[in-house]
């Protein structure tokens, strides 16, 4: 089993602590069947992997540090989060994990941003998103450069809420990300998105099929919490067949 | 933020995405750091095909690092040589056999792309002029409400 990156340096006041959803992403992306698929997909090409909403950095750190196993070669990687604390934490998580695994991968930078809005079109080979997927009455507003908070508590609560609160069906942010996929993914690009049962996964998959510049394929490649528990999770893979 | 990052960034303002002037973003008042990463020519050669050379030349010039950069992508020269049947060398070829590219050129490129970090400064869109701050190595691409 591949080691989980160390996140002991991360303060979880404003950052999502690695949980069942994070670990499902690690397990699903490094499963023998998925690794085989990725090896084949990127046999001639060293992929650029981007994680949106990195939080602690456990996922992108894992993918970078274990790239030789998962992709068959080292990768370059980037992390995006709306929370600058998460950006810095992720950079450190990735640095430590890559060193620990003696990987040749390179974590280029963390950037603070709204999803893929600042990412160059057609440049992403592997996109990973563990969204704020919990259904909530309201979707918290994004922070912005001019943001002022009354106190630290208000700031921490706001940033933490952005890591889980997903608005209607828990899907408001995820749908915005899905709409960016045709623009940011490269021709051989692939996206992994985590969904919970309340996100209405079958409806989401149909919507993915209808994205422009397709045909888009979508498949569930990992599941957890099948028996009890209200939070049933799955990972979907979104891709196109290369020409 | 390593210099190679700029190859994958553009302006976050929606109307700038389709404008050629929004790429690359332009450094202003940048302060740099040197990070040490063991040279890996295979990895570098795998990255080169995805780099827009004209954009990289612009970025290097803005940081006063043009001397680190050859005038054309060594990858293009390598491909040309392969097509002419001179090399036929796979880019994953054993390092000791060489890649057909001057190793000094590759080492300079490695230093430029992988070992040069921007710590503080601004990244400016050539289309709309918006300035994205870079602080402690993290670029902030969140827009103020009137630009979202």
User: pLDDT averaged over chain A?
Assistant: 94
The 8-class DSSP code of residue A165 comes to: B
Task: Select A21-239's CATH number: 3.40.50.410, 3.30.465.10, 3.40.50.150, 3.60.15.10.
Answer: 3.40.50.150
Q: B92 falls in which pLDDT band (50, 70, 90)?
A: very low
Angstrom distances, CA of residue A54 to CA of A20, B62, B125: 15, 30, 25
Cα B96 → chain centroid:
26
Q: B86 falls in which pLDDT band (50, 70, 90)?
A: low
Q: Which of A211, A217, A187 is nearest to A42 (CA)?
A: A187
Residue B94 confidence (pLDDT): 44
Residue A229 confidence (pLDDT): 53
Range in A105-109, A192-196, B19-23, B73-77 the model is least confident about = B73-77
> A212 or B76: whose pLDDT is higher?
A212
Contact at CB, B144 and A121, closer than 8 angstroms: no
For residues B113-126, give the mean pLDDT: 97
Residue B98 confidence (pLDDT): 56
Q: Tell me, what CATH number does B129's domain have?
A: 2.20.25.10
Contact at CB, B1 and A111, closer than 8 angstroms: yes
| Pairing status of strand A233-239 against strand B138-140 | unpaired
Every domain of chain A and the residues it spans: 21-239
Residue B77 confidence (pLDDT): 76
Cross-chain CB nearest to B142 (options A88, A113, A121): A113
Each residue's pLDDT tens digit, A199-236? 999 999 999 999 999 999 999 999 997 655 545 899 99
User: A72 — contact with chain B (CB < 8 Å)?
Assistant: no
User: A120 — contact with chain B (CB < 8 Å)?
Assistant: yes
Strand pairing partners for A220? A236
Contact at CB, B43 and A121, closer than 8 angstroms: no
Q: Establish if B141 belongs to a structural domain.
A: no
> CA of A74: which chain B residue's CA is closest?
B43
Q: Which of B49, B83, B59, B134 is nearest to A42 (CA)?
A: B49
C-alpha A90/C-alpha A50 separation (Å) is 12
> CA of B147: which chain A residue's CA is closest?
A144
Q: In chain B, how many domains are there?
A: 1
User: A68 — contact with chain B (CB < 8 Å)?
Assistant: no
Q: Establish if B93 belongs to a structural domain.
A: yes
At A127 the three-state DSSP class reads strand
Q: Enter the ipTM.
A: 0.93
Q: Establish if B145 belongs to a structural domain.
A: no
| A203 burial level (CB within 10 Å; 0-12, 13-18, 19+) | exposed
| B52 burial level (CB within 10 Å; 0-12, 13-18, 19+) | middle
Angstrom distances, CA of residue B130 to CA of A116, B9, B31, B119, B143: 17, 14, 19, 19, 9
Q: Which of A87, A115, A110, A116 is nearest to A15 (CA)?
A: A87
Q: Establish if B77 belongs to a structural domain.
A: yes
Residue B1 confidence (pLDDT): 97
Each residue's pLDDT tens digit, B5-16? 999 999 999 999
Q: Establish if B148 belongs to a structural domain.
A: no
Give the contacts of B32 (CB within 8 A, at least 6 positions apart): B63, B116, B117, B118, B119
Q: Establish if B143 belongs to a structural domain.
A: no
Each residue's pLDDT tens digit, A86-144? 999 999 999 999 999 999 999 999 999 999 999 999 999 999 999 999 999 999 999 87
User: B90 — contact with chain A (CB < 8 Å)?
Assistant: no
Domain span at residue B65 reads 3-134
Contact at CB, A84 and B138, closer than 8 angstroms: yes
Q: Establish if B80 belongs to a structural domain.
A: yes
Q: Establish if B18 belongs to a structural domain.
A: yes
């Amino acid at each position: 089993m591949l080691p989980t990156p160390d996140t002991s340096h991360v303060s979880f006041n404003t950052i999502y602590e690695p949980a069942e959803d994070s670990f499902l992403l690690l397990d699903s992306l490094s499963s023998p069947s998925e690794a085989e698929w990725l090896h084949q997909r990127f046999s001639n090409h060293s992929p650029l992997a981007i994680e949106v909403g990195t939080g602690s950095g456990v996922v992108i750190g894992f993918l970078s540090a274990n790239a030789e196993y998962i992709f068959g070669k080292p990768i370059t990687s980037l992390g995006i989060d709306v929370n600058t604390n998460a950006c810095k934490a992720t950079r450190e998580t990735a640095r430590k994990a890559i060193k620990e695994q003696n990987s040749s991968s390179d974590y280029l930078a963390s950037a603070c941003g709204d999803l893929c809005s600042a990412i160059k079109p057609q440049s992403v080979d592997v996109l990973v998103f563990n969204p704020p997927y919990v259904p909530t009455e309201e979707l918290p507003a994004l922070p912005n450069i001019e943001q002022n908070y009354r106190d630290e508590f208000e700031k921490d609560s706001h940033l933490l809420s952005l890591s889980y609160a997903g608005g209607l069906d828990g899907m408001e942010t995820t749908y915005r990300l899905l709409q960016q996929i045709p623009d940011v993914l490269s021709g051989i690009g692939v996206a992994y998105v985590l969904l919970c049962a309340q996100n209405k996964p079958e409806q989401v998959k149909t919507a993915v099929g209808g994205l422009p510049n397709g045909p888009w394929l979508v498949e569930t490649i990992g599941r957890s919490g099948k028996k009890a528990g209200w939070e049933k999770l799955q990972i979907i893979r979104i891709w196109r067949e290369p020409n | 933020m390593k210099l190679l990052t700029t190859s994958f960034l553009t302006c976050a303002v929606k109307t700038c995405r389709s404008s050629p002037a929004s790429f690359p973003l332009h450094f202003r008042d940048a302060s740099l750091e040197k990070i040490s990463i063991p040279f890996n020519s295979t990895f570098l050669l795998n990255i080169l095909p995805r780099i827009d050379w004209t954009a990289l030349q612009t970025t290097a010039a803005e940081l006063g690092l043009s001397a680190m950069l050859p005038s054309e992508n060594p990858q293009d020269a390598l491909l040309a040589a392969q097509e002419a049947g001179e090399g036929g060398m796979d880019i994953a070829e054993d390092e000791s056999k060489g890649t057909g590219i001057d190793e000094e050129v590759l080492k300079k490129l490695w230093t430029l792309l992988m070992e040069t970090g921007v710590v503080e400064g601004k990244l400016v869109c050539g289309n709309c002029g918006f300035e994205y701050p870079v602080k402690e190595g993290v670029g902030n691409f969140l827009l103020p409400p009137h630009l979202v």
